[in-house]
Amino acid sequence: MMDQDFWTYFFVVLTFGLYIGIAIWARAGSTQDFYVAGHDVHPTINGMATAADWMSAASFLSMAGLIAFLGYGGSVYLMGWTGGFVLLALLLAPFLREFGKFTVPDFVGDRYYSTTARVIAVVCTLFISFTYIAGQMKGVGVAFSGFLGVPFEWGIGIGMVIVFIYAVLGGMKGVTYTQVAQYVVMIFAYTVPAIFISLIITGNAIPQLGFISNVRGDDISMLDKLNEVVTGLGFGAYTETSKSKLDIFAITGALMFGTAGLPHVIVRFFTVRSASAARYSAGWALVFIALLYTTAPAVGAFARLNFINTVNDATYIEDGEDYDASAAAIVAEGGKPVPVWYKDWEKTGLLSFEDINGDGIMQYRGPNAPDGIQNELKPSNDIFVLANPQIAQLPGWVVGLMVAGGLAAALSTAAGLLMVISSAVSHDLCRKTLFKDMNDKTELMVARGAAASAVFAAGLLGIFSSQLGFVAQVVAFAFGLAAASLFPTIFLGIFWKRMNREGAIASMTFGLVATFSYIVYFKFVDLDPAHWLLGVSPEGIGFPFMLGSLVVGMAVSLMTAPPPQEIQDIVEDIRVPGLRRTLAVAQEHTAP
């Protein structure tokens, strides 16, 4: 245990020191540095930073946990988030970069020639970003409380301080280069334990291949073995799902289109020099993301199998007892003692055991257990990536590396979100709306103050987000809000010249209000899934409301006056860069 504690503190202190050092080195000196890193980031570097921004606590901590416990049903998160990034890279990113603004509300305000549209876009951005950041700060709390022995709330507080230093000091310039370092940390932290565990279970050093290989020493595939184990305990087959096809489709759609509307991901493409660089940047980001996303299914499957093997039917040792002596006595009697890792994580409140039948044995069962025993264990999805190295009894340095990776994932995305919140308040709300005579120096001060306030608010959201669900579920709500509010307005703003300010205002308002109301109602008021609209869960409702938002925007635009001609010319020009200038030159040469 001392070895594990040493390596955990070593990697956490080392990486945090690196992040702060980069922030000091890359300190923002202007609003352009603070908002978009001076438009001067190399596409490959930006691709790596985008991958770190994208692979949040939901991807790193919670997605594999979802796959571990939902099996095939958990793949909607993998498919939705991956497909969404392709959609963003091909449909929106290059054109938004060509438009040449700092933020998404900046694009909306200028494209729709409306201060009202800009303010509504700011409101949408803040709703989405604060919902998203709640999941990141919760991930920070999970990592700190599980490994550093501090309360969940203290863990979030420590994370707030670190993010405050490098986000407020360095701005987007500091965040970009910090995220490059965080990507390297998190990808090593994710893949190294996966390689070890794949070797232990299947003998194959490549987790993606271990996932479909035979179990070591047994003539049965990994997935067939897992199906056999979980169905024997009364759970549904790992390769099947209880979700309806419509709900799976809706969740996948909400995650895909939500990705394409996420302000903190879109703004990453404003940091490169050109639309062409934005395309290259997106390509590199997909490569870097694939390294983790193709590993996640294997990590989830290994975690589920190891969890069952180490905890199910183990004899519980009460707090206050001498663990070593009690464990030795249990082994001497032919029993299996509760593992040390379980006792460590139990302190966080993310694992619990209720001895329903009073036999002192921890029975992990599904709703259809053949032996009729009730389930006595309640694990959180969020702990399994972090706990995986401990469950597999890997060396202390692997455990420490995993903790540093989990923190890097949560902090990298939190920093990107803070930049979006800061710029929405200082640039779009203050300088572009309320105080139009504000100079650069004052704007930079306001931006730093907004970022500092956002850090504090994000910490409070992280503390109270436990009522909403696990990390990936909390984050999924943000995707639904983005899909229904910002995506239709951005998409139509690029590809339909007839879309006007009235249509944009109606579309964003409908999408935000409808989606937010549905999520709040079915998460806090009516908890019965039987009452869901068409059987679509709160995680997936953003997709049907996105379609409604598109219809509302187009209908209102057709019923009102078209945009000014100069706006239509701009739309034409960002879709085909230089077209308007080329046509003007051609007309000049053909004029009589």
By residue count, the chain amounts to: 592
**C-alpha to C-alpha distance for 62 and 384, rounded to whole angstroms:** 8
What tokens were used for 448? Answer: 């730093």
Name the DSSP letter for residue 488: H
344 contact partners, CB below 8 Å, separation of at least 6: 146, 390
Query: Chain-centre distance of CA 365, in angstroms?
Result: 30
Cα–Cα distances in angstroms (integers) from residue 203 to residues 211, 306, 395, 430, in the given order: 11, 15, 18, 59
Whether the Cβ atoms of residue 175 and residue 415 lie closer than 8 Å to each other: yes
pLDDT score at 189: 86
Rounded-to-5 percentages of helix, strand, coil across the chain: 75, 0, 25
pLDDT score at 537: 87
What 513-517 contacts at long range (C-beta under 8 Å, 24+ apart), as own/partner pairs, is: 514/484, 514/545, 514/548, 514/549, 515/480, 515/481, 515/483, 515/484, 515/485, 515/541, 515/542, 515/545, 516/127, 516/481
The CA-based angle 279-281-282, given to 5 degrees, is 65
**C-alpha to C-alpha distance for 289 and 230, rounded to whole angstroms:** 30
pLDDT in tens, 52-75: 877 766 677 777 777 877 777 777
298 contact partners, CB below 8 Å, separation of at least 6: 194, 198, 207, 208, 210, 211
**C-alpha to C-alpha distance for 530 and 369, rounded to whole angstroms:** 24
224 contact partners, CB below 8 Å, separation of at least 6: none
What tokens were used for 113? Answer: 């020639």
Which residues does the chain have with pLDDT short of 50? 467-472, 579-592
Locate the domains of the chain by residue range: 2-230+246-301+394-482, 304-383
pLDDT score at 476: 66
Q: Considering only the C-alpha atoms of the chain, give the largest distance between any 2 of them, rounded to a whole number of Å.
A: 104
Whether the Cβ atoms of residue 562 and residue 500 lie closer than 8 Å to each other: yes
pLDDT score at 36: 63
**C-alpha to C-alpha distance for 91 and 282, rounded to whole angstroms:** 11
Q: Encode 533-561 in three state secondary structure.
A: HHHCCCCCCHHHHHHHHHHHHHHHHHHCC
In 182-332, DSSP assigns E strands to: 314-315
Q: DSSP readout, 376-429?
A: -EEE-GGGHHHHHHHHTT--HHHHHHHHHHHHHHHHHHHHHHHHHHHHIIIIII
pLDDT score at 583: 40
Helix or strand or coil: residue 563? coil
pLDDT score at 470: 45
254 contact partners, CB below 8 Å, separation of at least 6: 80, 476, 479, 480, 483, 539, 540, 541, 542, 543, 546
590 contact partners, CB below 8 Å, separation of at least 6: none
**C-alpha to C-alpha distance for 373 and 380, rounded to whole angstroms:** 21
Q: What is the CA radius of gyration of the chain?
A: 25
Taking alpha carbons only, the member of 553, 535, 549, 548 closest to residue 249 is 535
**C-alpha to C-alpha distance for 260 and 209, rounded to whole angstroms:** 31
In the chain, the N- to C-terminal Cα span, in Å, equals 87
Taking alpha carbons only, the member of 571, 481, 507 closest to residue 257 is 481
Residue 378 backbone dihedrals phi, psi, to 5 degrees: -125, 95
Helix or strand or coil: residue 350? coil
pLDDT in tens, 178-224: 888 888 888 888 888 899 999 999 999 999 898 888 988 788 888 88
**C-alpha to C-alpha distance for 85 and 260, rounded to whole angstroms:** 7
CATH number of the structural domain 2-230+246-301+394-482: 1.20.1730.10
Helix or strand or coil: residue 119? helix
33 contact partners, CB below 8 Å, separation of at least 6: 171, 172, 173
Cα–Cα distances in angstroms (integers) from residue 102 to residues 3, 31, 533, 591, in the given order: 47, 10, 37, 38
Taking alpha carbons only, the member of 428, 455, 418 closest to residue 122 is 428
pLDDT score at 198: 92
Residue 550 backbone dihedrals phi, psi, to 5 degrees: -60, -45
What tokens were used for 304? Answer: 């589920």
pLDDT score at 212: 86
